[in-house]
Structure 1
Amino acid sequence: MASQGPELEIVHLLRAVTVELGLHSSRFARRNALHPTDVRALIALMDASRADEEMSAGRLGALLGLNSAGTTSLIDRLERGGHVRRVRGRADRRKVVVEVDEKAVELGQAFFGPLIDRTVELLQGYDERERAAIRGFLEGVRDAAVAEEG
């Protein structure tokens, strides 16, 4: 176990931030009649869109830890709510991919935008070297959490 130094204080602060962000996400889900997994799916789809990557149902299910039936149910529910749509793949028209609808992006932006703006504002108070350190730390924590799935 890690020693009880300033590093552990930061670990506890990171845990507190994680809890608060989870609660914030839960409020969004509740206010919009979404399941927490729906929110995770929308985030995954928006991340894929930003990276200009297509998201198949199978890939989405794998990212969320869902089986095929659970993934189909999730996509059906989000599609009925107008949050996503199934479309043909760009490169392979036989392939069906899932895209987030602009309505869902706007809904998320309305709710999460102020938090995102405040976070960006905080980061602007750091120089590039400090932001690189923050980025490296967060990537390391994310990678450690992924390794724990293992």
Structure 2
Amino acid sequence: MYRRRDTRRDLLIAEITAELRRYGVDAQHVGHAFAGQHGLNVTDLQALIAVMDAELTGAPITPGRLGEHLGISSGSVTALIDRLERAGHIRRDRDPTDRRRVLLRYADRGAALAMDFFRPLGERTDRVMSGFRDDELEVVYRFITAMGASLREHRDMVRAARPESPRRRTD
């Protein structure tokens, strides 16, 4: 049922929600443009983002964790990694503390391609952020972090509720 929005807060929440939705769609378009220019599919792009995010946190991702993150089988993740490695986007490194473990890292060629493509967006982002005071950025950070956590919770709930495909069924 339609709820009338007549307070300033209600209007602001509606506008923020609409902007977040538009931002998400626009970010997907940019990601798909990068993927299209480099012969990547959506799963490839998601894998590259997961590898990059893991490296940024200082905890490179393993193939098993990548498969869990993407919700794909070990065979599919192996094919994915092989494809991304052949294309020069990622590399496999042995874990220096446990040589049995493989860590996935962004390859120099893949990092250079991403840097060239996303540099103009980074510059635009820097210009936007320079218009905000530190205390404002702290509020934005708190907001976007909470919104991201909320979205991931919902994503996980939806994943858990979806019926298994016949190929994944174990009974």
For 1:103, the equivalent position in structure 2 comes to 109
Q: Segments of 4+ in structure 1 off by > 3 A?
A: 1-4
SS in 2 for 1:93: strand
Identity among equivalent positions (%) equals: 35
2:70 to 48, 56, 64: 64
TM-score normalised by L of structure 1: 0.93
| Structure 1 residues not aligned, in runs of 5+ | none
Q: In the alignment, is the contact (CA less than 8 A) between 1:54 and 1:89 conserved in 2? A: no
Mapping of residues 27-66 of structure 1, within 5 Å: 27-66=33-72
Name which of structure 1's ranges 1-10 and 39-48 shifts more when overlaid on structure 2.
Answer: 1-10
RMSD after superposition = 1.5
For 2:87, the equivalent position in structure 1 comes to 81
Mapping of residues 115-126 of structure 1, within 5 Å: 115-126=121-132
Distance 1:3 1:116 in 2: 38
SS in 2 for 1:94: strand
Distance 1:132 1:67 in 2: 39
Q: CA deviation at 1:3?
A: 6.3
2:141 to 125, 135, 141: 135
Q: CA deviation at 1:14?
A: 0.9
TM-score normalised by L of structure 2: 0.82
Distance 1:74 1:8 in 2: 39
Distance 1:145 1:130 in 2: 22
Q: CA deviation at 1:76?
A: 0.9
Residue type matched to 1:132 in 2?
A: E
Q: CA deviation at 1:54?
A: 2.5
Structure possessing the higher relative contact order (Cα contacts under 8 Å, 6 or more residues apart): 1
| Structure 2 residues not aligned, in runs of 5+ | 6-10, 158-171
